[in-house]
């Protein structure tokens, strides 16, 4: 009696699968390391330091990305969905527009309490790079625009007097508060939420 068994994959296919897995693993490790190091030390972290921490060679890095700038942009892009999911309320949560806007500042106050908090990574990237055309600045600007758009949409739904103005004001509060907390200049506990709440009140939103 014989038992049918699947034929082993050709040697070249096994090699390609292994190579693709290694490449993906190296890329993920590099981006995770870049996100962590750049958040803690700034985007000027040396390439050698970045590669050593990620456990890959510079040659391998340049096989994966055209430049270090591309690595920084990809690292910010990779972390954006997680950051957004933490900061913004879920679409299906039973909160009104006012509570949804304040939810952002509640999460900010919680994050700022952590000893390793260094501020908003996207604001920090734009300030440090000082170049709107830099690939990482482009990614950061897109992330910040998403927050602005969120505030504007919620303000409009709540019937704010000027949704665009309120959105800009809340973004300024968020950026200013996160920056001050990130450099250790202030404690946000009870400050960011109350400041945002006062602006929402002035905009004519009560619920």
Asked whether residue 104 is domain-assigned, the answer is yes
Asked whether residue 174 is domain-assigned, the answer is yes
pTM: 0.85
Rg from Cα positions in the chain = 22
Domain residue limits at 86: 69-202
Distance CA 139, CA 146 (A): 11
Give the DSSP letter string of 103-153: HHHHHHHHHHTSTT----HHHHHHHHH--TTSHHHHHHHHHHHHHHHHHHH
Residue 155 and residue 99 in contact, taking contact as beta carbons nearer than 8 Å: no
Distance CA 61, CA 57 (A): 6
Asked whether residue 192 is domain-assigned, the answer is yes
Kind plus residue range of the DSSP H or E element containing 204:
none
- Per-residue pLDDT of the chain (207 residues), as tens digits, is 444 444 444 443 333 344 444 456 899 999 999 999 999 999 999 999 999 999 999 999 999 999 999 999 999 999 999 999 999 999 888 999 999 999 999 999 999 999 999 999 999 999 999 999 999 999 999 999 999 999 999 999 999 999 999 999 999 999 999 999 999 999 999 999 999 999 999 999 987
Q: What CATH number does residue 76 fall under?
A: 1.10.357.10
Q: Helix or strand or coil: residue 68?
A: helix
Task: Give how many domains the chain has, as a whole number.
Answer: 1
Asked whether residue 74 is domain-assigned, the answer is yes
Residue 65 and residue 33 in contact, taking contact as beta carbons nearer than 8 Å: no
Asked whether residue 33 is domain-assigned, the answer is no
Asked whether residue 195 is domain-assigned, the answer is yes
Asked whether residue 78 is domain-assigned, the answer is yes
pLDDT tens readout for residues 115-138: 999 999 999 999 999 999 999 999
């Amino acid at each position: 009696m014989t038992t049918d068994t699947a034929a082993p994959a050709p040697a070249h296919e096994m090699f390609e699968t292994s190579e693709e897995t290694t490449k993906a693993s190296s890329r993920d490790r590099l981006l995770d390391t870049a996100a962590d190091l750049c958040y803690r030390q700034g985007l000027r972290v040396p390439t050698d330091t970045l590669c050593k921490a990620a456990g890959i060679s510079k040659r391998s890095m340049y096989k994966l990305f055209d430049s270090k700038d591309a690595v920084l942009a990809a690292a910010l892009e990779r972390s954006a969905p997680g950051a957004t999911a933490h900061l913004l309320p879920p679409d299906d949560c039973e909160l009104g527009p006012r509570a949804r806007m304040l939810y952002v500042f509640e999460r900010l106050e919680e994050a700022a309490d952590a000893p390793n908090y260094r501020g908003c990574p996207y604001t920090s990237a734009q300030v440090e790079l000082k170049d709107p055309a830099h690939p990482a600045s482009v990614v950061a600007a897109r992330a910040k625009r998403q927050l602005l758009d969120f505030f504007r949409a919620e303000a409009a739904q709540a019937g704010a007097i000027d949704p665009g103005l309120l959105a800009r004001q809340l973004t300024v509060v968020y950026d200013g508060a996160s920056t001050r907390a990130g450099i250790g200049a202030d404690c946000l506990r009870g400050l960011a939420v109350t400041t945002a709440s006062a602006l929402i009140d002035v905009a004519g939103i009560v619920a």
